[in-house]
Amino acid sequence: MASPKVTALPTTPAPPILPCSLQPMPLHEALGEALTAQSDVEGKHFTDDAFTDSHIDVLEFFGCLFERCTFTVLPFKRLFFVDCCFSHCDFSGAKLENTTFQRVLWQESRLTGCDFIKASLSNVSFLSCTADLIGFADTKLTKVAFTQCRLRESLWQNIRHKDVIMDACDLTSAQISDMPMAGMNMTTCVLEGIKIGLPDLRGMAVTALQGVQLCRLFGLKIIE
């Protein structure tokens, strides 16, 4: 008799590894030094600051802590963030194109209307973030966790993913396309008004009530 198939649980993202000692510095000063020396930004602590330079294309941040910093509206291309933490930061309306995030934590940050386009996220956690209208398009997600996040009217399109966790998130009116959800446990999430096709829906774990809500997407009449 064949053994029953066991579905592996998603792996929790690895946390960022920050240096024991971080150097406080204004963001514009750190960027100026890095561009002049053609080097990376490493081991810095930025507080109550704003990313205002829209002419930076390729830049790497390693082991940096951002607290109450603003990254809104500006387009960002080919930036790399490794072992970084964003705490109470604002990415509203930011366009993150071809940007790489590895071992990164967003904590209690605002990402309303933020777009991840052709981005790569590996070992990334979003904790208690407000991210209505956030968009992921042509993006790769590996070991990414969304915990207690507001993701209302979010857009997920053409996503390659592995080990994605969504726990206690609000995905009201979210749109999912070309993102197979097989094996994902959505039982703790709000899925009211979600838009998703049958191919993406197959294999997704939901509660009985969520199942009834999803059946209505395909014109089924539920008689109680």
The residue type found at 172 is T
In this structure, what token pair is assigned to residue 60? Answer: 């790497």
Can you give the CATH number for the domain in which 122 is found?
2.160.20.80
Whether residue 65 contacts residue 22, with contact meaning beta carbons closer than 8 Å, is answered with yes
Whether the Cβ atoms of residue 176 and residue 156 lie closer than 8 Å to each other: yes
* Structure confidence by residue, pLDDT tens digits, 185-198: 999 999 999 999 88
Task: Write the pLDDT tens digit of every residue in 12-67.
Answer: 899 999 999 999 999 889 888 888 888 899 999 999 999 876 566 678 999 999 99
Does residue 16 lie within any of the structural domains?
Answer: no
pTM, to two decimals: 0.90
Task: State residue 109's pLDDT score.
Answer: 98
74 located within any domain: yes
The answer to whether residue 129 sits within a structural domain is: yes
**Average model confidence (pLDDT) for the chain?**
89
| Residue 121 region by backbone torsions, left for phi larger than 0, else alpha for psi between -120 and 50, else beta | beta
- Tell me whether residue 7 is in a domain: no
Determine how β-strand 79-87 pairs with β-strand 59-62.
parallel
Is 79's pLDDT higher than 90?
A: no
Q: What is the pLDDT of residue 104?
A: 98
Q: Which of 153, 187, 190, 183 is nearest to 169 (CA)?
A: 190
- Round to whole Å and give the CA distance between 202 and 51: 41
pLDDT of residue 6: 43
Judge contact between 211 and 189, C-beta under 8 A. Answer: no
Is 209 domain-assigned? yes
Provide the pLDDT for residue 4: 42
Q: Which residue segment(s) compose the domain that 66 sits in? A: 23-218
Domain count within the chain: 1
Q: Say if 92 falls within a structural domain.
A: yes
* Residue 89 falls inside a structural domain: yes
Parallel, antiparallel or unpaired: strands 79-87 and 100-107: parallel
Whole-angstrom distance, CA of residue 80 vs CA of residue 102: 8
Question: Would you say 90 and 113 are in contact if contact means Cβ atoms under 8 Å apart?
Answer: no
Which pLDDT value is given to residue 10?
A: 75
